[in-house]
Structures are given as structure tokens and as C-alpha cells.
Amino acid sequence: MTTTLEPNIHPDSQREVEILAAESEIYHPSPEVVAQALIPNYMDLRTEALADVESYWDARAQEMVDWFEPYEKVLDDSGKPFYKWFVGGKTNIAYNALDRHAKTWRKNKLAMIWESEDGEHRTYSFFRLWQEVNKFANVLKSMGVKKGDTVTIYMGRVPELPMAMLATAKIGAIHSVVYGGFSEQSLASRIEDAQSKVLVTCDGAWLRGKTVNLKEIVDEAVRRSPVVQSVIVLKRTGQPVTMEQGRDYWWHDLMSLPIASPKCESEPMDAEDPLFILYTSGTTGKPKGVLHTIGGYQVYIATTLQYVFDLKDEDRYWCAADPGWITGHSYIVYAPLILGATSFMYEGAPDYPYPNRWWQLVEKYGITILYTAPTAIRGLMRFGDAWATRHDLSSLRLLGSVGEPINPEAWRWYHRVIGKEQCPIMDTWWQTETGGFMITPTPVVPLKPGSGTLPFTGIEADVVREDGTSCGPNEDGYLVLKKPWPGMARTVWGDPERYIQQYWAEFAKQGWYFSGDSARKDDDGYFWIIGRMDDVLKVSGYRLGTAEVESALVSHKLVSEAAVIGVPDELKGNVIYAFCILNSGVTGNGDLADELKRHVRTEVGPIAVPAKIEFVDSLPKTRSGKIMRRLLKAQVLGQPIGDTSTLAD
Ligand code: PRX
């Protein structure tokens, strides 16, 4: 597969203007920040690490986690691009996250603080979390889950979600967490692909004071994908649900049985055994199951979190993502626990019941590090400064951003109003596939608003032209990773060929990983992400394939063809515009557009609903029949349509 270089933002667009304006705006770290940094010599370490990547990761693997049996080799590249890390090592990530802390002074330390949408709060010490996870691990065993089996988890943002993940990992099974905002069809296809016999869910989830019927969605998904034999249901909302005898069990019933003993040994796992599958959108067809393995992943996420967020025992760290995405997997669940940190988790929406909810939480719990997405920052910024300034936010010392390019205006607001110009902002560029941060500052790196600054230690990133030569300063090109790293995805679940085609085919000759993003480097070598170059959209930081939305649209009986594009939006980064050709004789109108939106909602989920649906008679295509979305986009944005020599008609 090759991608035509088509940065998704036109050169004279907003991002270009922003980058040019912010390139020379430098924020140097304050002497206080540098003085307290865990890794003050980070810049030297970057040089050292690149000189000998294997020794560098060997040292991190010794330092960050425990091994039941030592590995024989740091990196095996004999089967590239199927790299192996810490070959022969035996370990378990749940052991590193919980068991080992439960035996030290951290036993009594808070591992997790949680607040529900309606203000209930719960805390878990490392000891208590360890026991709960052990109990649930025994429950899973009693349901017949064995090493190598997959367990699908579909829940709201509750403490039992991380518990279910950790319990699965503890017994050597593989979790596949499906974000609670996905519809029955998305859930069914993920269950089917992962072949999970056990599903863990909730009766419902709270969102903005209303309940979402998770169990109902599960019932429909299981009807469509009958591979599931047992469903474990956590009672969260108490709403009425149907429990199918012999298939559905209440979490609390199972956890009170004698089989749910609070003792459970962590299964010794091979470093390269699978840890989880996480479905994410690609260029074509159905979402792919990105597979991460245990050994390298745990080392990579612990190192990145410690270095970038400078995480210390006295911190109260809040990653406001959903555990159902990679940010949650790596930086809510696994890395903070491996580092023995105290994490905060909040169930609901940032502006519920009022736009000060987050700032109230920061004040109430004394949060020191906040990590969120530009779309949330922009969403809260829109309500004005007063909602934030009436709270004491002085506990904050570091801020973070992830998921899409942050526009400098939002960066500056975050810096000034939330961070009171005292908190460095860690703009971390990475992907589901990279496992952890790739291009990111640390607290000692000078910042520019809107730039992820420099590649992390041991990471060799570059912006290159189609022929692989490096781009000059301020020239847009393909963002590639030139060396393997321990946190990298290992394959696409059940489809190794797709793994090669998707990530390693574009620069096969050089053996580089292609991210799918376009970027540029400025005169100081700082990286600026432009956006996706493929048919992947980022909507409110969520990742969606145009193909997913298009196939949902054409699955409606009145639609014969559809094309979907992302259009820049101030709040969401991008919104979806859909162009539909209807069956002959059918006329489009507002009611049909609404019906199609509802249809997309049930086929994929609310995040995929187009902001606008336009009915058209034809779509611009190449002679080989590929839809030229670039032309549709240029038309919507009123931009020059550029080269049309490949246009069929
Ligand atoms: O386009 C980049 C964008 O998000 C994509 C990865 O999406 P996903 O796999 O859902 O992971 C999101 C959380 C890690 C990337 O290809 N992206 C992510 N972080 C940034 C970003 N774009 C610009 N700046 C970022 N900090």
C-alpha cells in the first residue's frame, strides 16, 4: 500500500498560519521545574540512548519492572518487522503493577481515587486494589478463562474496568476493551474478531445525568456474535436489565462466592506473550485489532510516564482519557500502577453539571498532573476563564495534551489560565500502535505552543519525502520512525499481512515504520504534526476511518454510495461531512438526513455521526474508481482543487 502525499490541511490553512506564528515563541523551563525534575540530564540521555538503543532499553528494563526469569536478548530483529523485545524473559504486568507494591510500604498508599458523576467518591490502596483484582482473576478462572483466551470488556468509566483488565492480565489472558460509546454492531464485530467467550460489562453507564443502556447493547451484540458464553454484569446504575439464565451473572454475586479468593498468583508469562488487543481505525475496511505484548510494553510505558510526567510518589496524577482507548490502557491503568503512583479517575463529562467540574476536582483532590486532549481544553476554554479561576488550581505542576494537534491558542489558554504560567505542557504525540509517547517534551525541554518538540529517548523519528530523503526545515512530509522501540505493536490480530501493509510497506526498502501522519520539522528540529495523510479522521480526538462511516451509510437501504471527509472544526478538531448518492427514485431531504445520522449512530456509535449529510448525484473518482475525497474537501473549504489529471469524469 502506498499513500499519496496529501497532507490533509491546505498550505494556507489555519494550521500553517499557527505554526509559522508559534515557531519562534519559546517557553523555557523555570529553574524550579528543572531543579525538581527526576531526569534533569534528559537531553544528554537522548544522545546517549540513540548511540546504543539496546543498552539503553536493557537498562530501563532492569530499572522499571521485575522479571521472574531474566531475558536472554534485548532485541531480536531477525523476523522484522515482527520485532521481539526482551526475548526469553518471564514476567507479568499485573505483578509489576500490583503484587510487588502490595508487599512494600506502598501497600497502604492510594493506588486509585475515583469520583462518580454524582459526586460519590471511592479510594483503593494498592493492597485493596490487589485483592479486588485477585478476586476477579479467580472469578475469571472459574468461568473457564485460561492463558491465551480473550476477554472482551465493555464498561463505563468505573474502577472495575481497570480491575477487569488487570485480572485478565494476571491470569495470562488477553483483554480487548471496547470503548463504552460504541454501538452494538461495533461491539459485535470486535467480539467476533477476538473470539471472546467471556464478556464483562455494566448494567448501564452514567453520562450527563442520564443512563446509557450498556447491557441492552450487549444483549444485541451477543445476539449478533454468539461466540460469547458468559457475561459478567457490574451493577452501576441499577436500571432494569434482562439477565439470561446460564449466560449472565452479576459481578457482585460472583465476587461474594468462595471461589473469589483474594489470593491469586500472577501467571508467569513470556515477554512476547500477548497482553491486549485494541481495535483502531485504519485506512480501509473494518477496524484492526492492534496487538501489544507484555514485556516491551510495560518497560516502554513506565519509562515514558516517569520521564515525561516526572511522576513521583507524592503526586496525584489524573489522566482524563477513557480507559477504553490506548491513552487509558497505558497511562491510566498500567504505567501509573507500575510506577506505584496515585491516580485519579472521574466517571463523567468535563462540563457536568457545570463547566467548573474538572477544576473543582483538581482543587478537591489536589491534583498535581493533568493529562487531557485538545478537544476537552477547547471545550472548557469556550466557557471563559471564570469557571477555572474561581478554583484553587495551585496544586498543579504539570499539564499534558494528546490525541490531535493542539492549536497554539488553546495551548496558551491551558498554560495561562489552568497552569498559571507555572506548569510546563507535555504535548505528547503517539498512537495506539506505538504503545506510548514518541515525540514529546519532558519538563526540562523548552516548549513551543503546538509542537510536540523532540523524539523521546531511544526514538529516531524523521520527516521524509516519498523517496525517503529527509525533508528540509519547514517542509511537510511523511512522519516515520526509523528504529524499533519496546512499546511498538507486534501485529494486527489475526492478520499479520495487514500489519506489514499498513505500517511497513510505504518505506519497505528502508525498513521504517510509517505513522500515517504528515509533519514538519522547524529550524530547531522541533516536530509539528500536521495531521493524518490517510483516510483516518480525528474527531474530538477519536480516531475513525472514513471507510467505517461510509460502510455504515451504505448499509442503509436507501443509500447506494457514500463518501466521507473531515472538515476542520474549532471545537472538535474535525467534523464529519458525508456525501451520499441515494438509490434511483429516492429524493434526499432533512428527514432522511436525520434518519441516516441515527443509522450511523446505531451502526458505529455517536462519535461517528456526520455533522452534515449532503445528497449528490455523483462523486469525484479516479479512473480506477477510488473516491477523490481531496476534491470534496477542497470544494467544502472553498480551496483550489489542485491536480485533477487522475479524475475520471
Ligand atoms: O494523527 C495523530 C494524532 O492521533 C493519531 C493516533 O490516534 P490514536 O491511535 O487514537 O491515539 C491517540 C492517543 C495516543 C496520530 O496518528 N495525535 C495523537 N497525539 C497527537 C496527535 N497529533 C498531534 N499532536 C499530538 N500530540
pLDDT in tens, 573-610: 999 999 999 999 999 999 999 999 999 999 999 999 99
Q: Which residues pair with 112 in a beta bridge?
A: 124, 343
Q: Which pLDDT band, with edges at 50, 70 and 90, does 188 fall under?
A: very high
pLDDT by residue (tens digit) across 395-408?
Answer: 999 999 999 999 99
Ligand 1 centroid – CA 138 distance (Å) = 36
**Looking at residues 347-365, what average pLDDT do you find?**
97
What is the percent of the chain where pLDDT is above 90? Answer: 90
Please tell me the predicted confidence (pLDDT) of residue 624.
83
Residue nearest (by alpha carbon) to ligand 1 atom 22? 404
Nearest CA to ligand 1 atom 8: 431
User: For position 282, what pLDDT does the model report?
Assistant: 79
User: What is the atom index within ligand 1 of the atom nearest the CA of 543?
Assistant: 10
How far is 291 from 278, CA to CA, in rounded Å?
A: 7
Ligand 1 pocket check for 328: Cβ under 6 Å = no
In this predicted structure, what is the pLDDT of residue 5? Answer: 44
- Please identify, by atom number, the ligand 1 atom nearest to the C-alpha of residue 433: 9
429 pocket-lining for ligand 1 (C-beta < 6 Å): yes
- Name the residue of 331, 429, 453, 503 to mutate for ligand 1: max ligand atoms within 8 A of Cβ: 429
Q: Hey, which residues does 280 pair with through a beta bridge?
A: 288
Residue nearest to atom 11 of ligand 1 (CA): 431
What CA–CA distance (Å, rounded) separates 132 from 260?
9
- Is the distance from CB of 275 to CB of 299 less than 8 angstroms? no
Q: How far is CA 619 from the centre of its chain?
A: 33
Rounded average pLDDT over 135-151: 98
Going from the Cα of 622 to the center of ligand 1, the distance in angstroms, rounded, reads 29
The per-residue pLDDT for range 226-242, each reduced to its tens digit, is: 999 999 999 999 999 99
Q: What percent of the chain has pLDDT over 70?
A: 98
Q: Whose CA is nearest to atom 25 of ligand 1?
A: 429
pLDDT at 8 over 50: no
13 band by pLDDT with thresholds 50, 70 and 90? low
- pLDDT tens by residue, 21-73: 888 899 999 999 999 999 999 999 999 999 999 999 999 999 999 999 999 99
Distances (CA, A) of 444 to 59, 260, 368, 595: 22, 47, 17, 52
More confident residue, 7 or 169: 169
Please indicate whether residue 130, judged by its CB atom, sits closer than 6 Å to ligand 1. Answer: no
Whether the CB-CB separation of 475 and 60 falls below 8 Å is answered with no
Please name the helix (run of DSSP H) or strand (run of DSSP E) that holds residue 57, with its range, or none.
helix 53-64
Q: What is the mean pLDDT of residues 361-389?
A: 97
Contact between residue 178 and residue 279 where contact means Cβ atoms under 8 Å apart: yes
Q: What is the distance between the alpha carbons of residues 438 and 273, in angstroms, rounded to a whole number?
A: 23
Q: Is 529 in the pocket of ligand 1 (CB under 6 A)?
A: yes
Residue minimizing CA distance to atom 7 of ligand 1:
431
Please name the residues in contact with 536: beta carbons below 8 A apart, sequence gap of 6 or more.
281, 282, 283, 516, 543, 544, 545, 546
Contacting residues for 119 by C-beta, under 8 A, at least 6 apart: none
Give the burial string for 228-244 (b: 16+ CB within 10 Å, else e).
bebbbbbebbeeebeee
Cβ of residue 15 lying under 6 Å from some atom of ligand 1? no
Q: Is 327 in the pocket of ligand 1 (CB under 6 A)?
A: yes
Task: Please give the grid coordinates belonging to residue 118.
Answer: 454524582
Q: Is residue 271 predicted with pLDDT exceeding 80?
A: yes
| Mean pLDDT rounded to a whole number for the chain | 95
Of 524, 509, 527, 506, which is closest to residue 462 (Cα–Cα)? 527
- pLDDT at 186 > cutoff 70: yes
Ligand 1 touching residue 346 (CB < 6 A): no
- 425-428: strand order across its sheet: 121-125, 110-115, 342-346, 316-319, 369-372, 398-402, 425-428
Please give the number of the atom of ligand 1 that sits closest to the Cα of 531.
1
Report strand pairing: 150-154 vs 121-125.
unpaired
Secondary structure letter of residue 27 according to DSSP:
B
Query: CB under 8 Å, gap of 24 or more: what pairs does 102-110 form?
Result: 102/126, 102/127, 102/130, 106/340, 109/313, 109/340, 109/342, 110/342
Distance (Å, rounded) from C-alpha 647 to C-alpha 627? 9
The Cα 612–Cα 590 span in angstroms is 10
631 C-alpha to ligand 1 centroid (Å): 25
Residue 121 banded pLDDT, cuts 50, 70, 90: very high
| pLDDT at position 645 over 80 | no
Please provide residue 560's backbone torsions phi and psi, each rounded to the nearest 5 degrees. -100, -30
Give which of 152, 151, 110, 148 is closest to 127, Cα–Cα: 110
Which atom of ligand 1 lies nearest, measured to the CA of 452? Answer: 26
